[in-house]
Amino acid sequence: MNATVLAARLETILGKRPDRLTTLTGASTGTVMRADFADGTRLVVKTGADNLALERRMLADLARDSDAPLPRVVHGDDAALVLEFLDHDPGIPGPAAQRHAGRLLAELHSMARPAIGYPYDTVIGKLDQPNPASERWLPFFAEQRLSHMVREGVREGTVSHELAARIDRLAGRLDRYLHEPDHPSLLHGDLWTGNLLHKGDRIVGLIDPAIYWGHPEIELAYMTLFDTVTEDFFAAYRALRPIDEGFFDLRRDIYNIYPLLVHVRYWDAAYSRPIDATLRRLGL
């Protein structure tokens, strides 16, 4: 959708036309723009992606089931998702904001449900994320996260057959390394630096969710993958929720195979190198 068509679309939706549309960086699917209006309103407009209505649904569910800071949805359909613009600082949050993030995630992960999965399938970026209800976490992680992502990667040619076979072997013996959670926790599902917005000492928004109910360790692991969080985050998190011993020794690296597979399929086969290193540690 070009700028002229988008401006006209926003005028139809909102009853006012933006003075300026600015493309925002960091989008992995579709186009994301900031719309500035004469009355000072600033909005984020997403177009050109297949999952905009699903993103609106996930944001609504996350708002219903948690107190997480989220952008307000102004409008959402298959063609355009219009969100509140959250003013934020660039880069990784500082110590105070890290502690705020730790408290927010501990509260989010304290939201419990009796079953793993979700009432509907979601996406991580543009990639399908199946969420069938499951009584146990380990079979769910093995089949619906690792094996699913590997199968799709092999089908499209981004994941080698050799790597797929090694990950399949790991999926069959996860009970040697991982454990079931005390309860399924509500997960944002895609928290890295770009989706954890901060302003000064506060987290102001968790954006682009990929929600489901699962083990909080998979979320905590991903948040360390690109140095999004520091020890300040974990100290605040531990003050509210325990992290079982051994998480940082091996389980974190096993869980990060999943987001690394996402990056292999999205961006570059180079993301398979840390996967290979973890598998070698396991003798696979």
Enzyme catalytic residues: 190
- Which letter, b or e, does each residue of 111-137 get, where b requires 16 or more Cβ atoms within 10 Å of its Cβ? bebeebbbeeebbbbebebebeebeeb
- Alpha carbon of residue 53 to chain centroid: 17
The upper half-sphere exposure of residue 125, i.e. CA atoms within 13 Å in the direction of its Cβ, equals 16
Neighbours of 14 (CB within 10 A): 16
Dihedral of CA 225/226/231/233: which sign? negative
Show Cβ contacts of residue 244 under 8 Å, excluding neighbours closer than 6 positions. 179, 217
* Strand runs labelled E in the chain: 20-23, 31-36, 42-47, 73-76, 80-84, 122-124, 127-129, 185-187, 196-199, 202-206, 212-214
| Farthest CA pair distance, the chain | 61
Of 5, 75, 15, nearest to 43 (Cα)?
75
Say how far apart CA 281 and CA 284 lie, in whole Å: 8
| CA atoms 283, 142, 145, 149: torsion sign | positive
Task: Report the alpha-carbon distance of residue 280 to residue 111 in Å, rounded.
Answer: 35
Residues 135, 116: contact at Cβ < 8 Å? yes
